[in-house]
Structure 1
Amino acid sequence: MSATSYDTIVVGVGGMGSAAVYQLAKRGVDVLGVERYDIPHSRGSSHGDTRIFRLTQPEHPEYVPLAQRAHELWRTLETESGTDLLTKTGSVHAGPQGGRMVEDAVRSCEVHDIDYELLTGEALNERFPGYNLPEEHHAVYQPDGGFLACERAITTHVKQALKHGATVRAREAVENIDIDESSVTVNTTRGTYTADNLVLAAGAWAGSHLDFLADLLTPQRRVLGWFHPTEPAHYRPENFPVFSIDVPEGSCYGFPVFERPGFKIGVTPKSPEAIDPDEWNEEPTLDDEQRLRRFPERYFPGAVGETMRLASCIVTYSHDGHFYLDTHPEYPHVSVAAGFTGHGYKFCSVVGEVLADFATKGDTENPISVHQFDGRL
């Protein structure tokens, strides 16, 4: 089969890849997006109805300008498409007084002069009755946080990209990528394509496409739960901020009820196990449900009625917790977005912009030093 040529090929059309295809097409680039599953799909980390958006960034203060730019781009996409994507609820980071969660959240706000309130657990519970945190805990409340409708955002990025002339092909797995000094060739289950530039946004499969990433990425299984609130008014978006909390039982995060019935919660395991993204237990179990329920039973007691839904996803960890966003160490016409470590979705819009910058300009003005490969390989 003869090769079809494009300016840029994007491998993976999930949260990050869909934004890259959109940004490239909007700039007039002849771009192909290739996705091994559906658009959107449920076998990666860009599904589950909602994903947290927050300006508070305890992971590193440098994340804050990226989040601010992402916010601008999400709102721009909403305006261009006429689609609601980002719902503002405020965000909460909470944990023991003096703990890393709270201290790092405060630091990220203060370094970038972001409005926030530092509350006791008691004060937070009084303001938002859906919460039942320990009174002596502290919480950082930031009013601009909220959540993104994640599948809707992927669909919107792709629809807008198609309007700008992009080609997107789903249900087409990449079998091999050949890179030379000035171009790339991508072989898939359906054809062969060449391009001047490659963008790799393949999630848990990134390491199978570029060898140097294989030891830098660890895919892990996560399960999310939706439980019908026994006190529904406390868990509406206008009454309940999204949250990330550290408590003695571990760490969890969650959302108010939105469209689908149920308060949504996810848990970060204390001892997560690596998985093969092609062979893993996607179906949630009764044990998964019981582990999830322990957190709302103690800290969100008005939210643990009947189970509405369970869903699994893949979280791909980087070796140091900071995601990778850079050009290939040897081939500057190849760019990579990978290892988002469970806190990446909010950045999809700006990651797409950065990847488009790499493909069209070779560099970006967005602050990404903590995410580059230098000193990390």
Structure 2
Amino acid sequence: MARICDEIDDENGNGNAFPMELLTQGADHAAVGLLGCLLVRDWPDGTHSAVRIVETEAYDQNDPASHTYHGRSERNRAMFGPAGHAYVYFTYGMHYCVNVTAGADGFGCGVLIRAGEPVEGVEHMTQLRGGRTGAQLTNGPAKLCQALAIDKSLYGHDLRMPPLRLVRASLKEGERIGCTPRIGISKAADRPRRLIIMGNPYVSKSPLNAKAVPLDTAGPMHGTQAKGTQAMQAKQTVADDNGGHGDSDGNTSCDVRIRRVYEEPSADDGLRVLVDRLWPRGRSKQSAHVDVWIKDIAPSKELRTWFGHIPERFDEFTSRYREELDANPEPVSRLRELIAGHPRVTLLYGAKDNEHNNAVVLRKYLLDTQVSQQEANTRK
């Protein structure tokens, strides 16, 4: 077998500079752009193992299936960092999976590498996979990580550098990219954010493979034409219940995020809106960088006291808080007007728990009621 890595290495052993524009335009664009590229593992003895990426899945913080949906945490912090880094996580108490971070710095966004086609260093990968060969070597996210010895030691690693790096490469002549719903998840599984090289034997086994919708692909660097990427994004828009929000007719797009007010503000936060009833203790107005404070949209004192940020009460808290929002439309309308007038809005909260707080519920409430309004308008 030709030593592909020898051809692409420079004099320092580093691969050709990976084109970051493939990653910085969001998860869907990156999921397409990564197909056909190489993921290379450099071993201490100077040898390499490499796989061609043949299957990807897109995730971002507006997606209920994403690890970033409930905001930044210690576990997912890499996903909120710059594009082109490794987000490695442990799942089911026994497997590692790797994502390539994507999108703008500060936006929780990435692409799961689901499967790869071995192209070099197969013997080393076979040993790491306990003697398994053929498609079983790397036709799944956990299998691929085991074959390339990817674990938490590579968390946050810059994928332009050894010992794990992305290398630019093209699709083979005649290869086509297909789009399907994602697999192996329970939330938002129907969204068409899984991309495969159609017909490749190393793609994960799934009945969905036969139903993949082809994307237009041609030209250099996988040649993803704008038309092909837009086609996928159009399908995502139809399926997406939380990607963009605006006026009551759904004509103005907006990216709604959440962030703890004690975190350092990001340059791309957009309009920062505090949605707590009390001002954050120990935070000055200058340090909090709050543009708007809508205190009356927060849960009532009685509900807040009862909840006490006890995770076991979060479902009941969510139900009661949504009832309060239904009964208190004026501050919700004010917030919607702000959202309609700004391309990006960040809801600020003070709670220490990033997953169980009022901002999480409020954001979901805004998304759900927006979709309901749009569906009602469609039926008119």
Q: TM-score, normalised by structure 1?
A: 0.23
**Higher RCO (C-alpha 8 Å, min separation 6):** 1
| Structure (1 or 2) with the greater strand fraction | 1
Structure with greater Cα Rg: 2
